[in-house]
Amino acid sequence: MIKELKYTFYLLIIFLFVALSGKYYFSENHKKKSYRSHQILNVKIDKYAKNTLLLKNNTNDIIEYVENNKNKIKKKYHFWNLLTNNEK
């Protein structure tokens, strides 16, 4: 008997939590506050972007590409031969 009452109490608490959270999250007051906070953040980002200095790009032609075709003769390795070969 006590076990069933405990489970119903737990379910009631979970249901109330979900219902009240949903009610607050989907309320018009919360939507207005979140929209205002997004607008304030957008204004702050725009102000910061206007005051930011841009540096000149000086990284042109900084990467040198090297050809790896110097060693044309490559030794072929076989996995099983490496395991059985005890000379090395």
pLDDT digits (tens, 9 = 90+) for 18-54: 999 999 999 999 989 999 999 999 999 999 999 999 8
Domain residues for 35?
Answer: 27-53
- Residue 78 in any domain: the answer is no
- Residue 44 in any domain: the answer is yes
Q: How many residues in the chain?
A: 88
- Residue 1 in any domain: the answer is no
CA 83 to chain centre: 43
User: How many structural domains compose the chain?
Assistant: 1
- Residue 3 in any domain: the answer is no
Please, what sign has the CA dihedral across residues 33, 39, 42, 47? negative
The pTM assigned to this predicted structure is 0.44
Do the beta carbons of residue 24 and residue 30 sit within 8 Å? yes
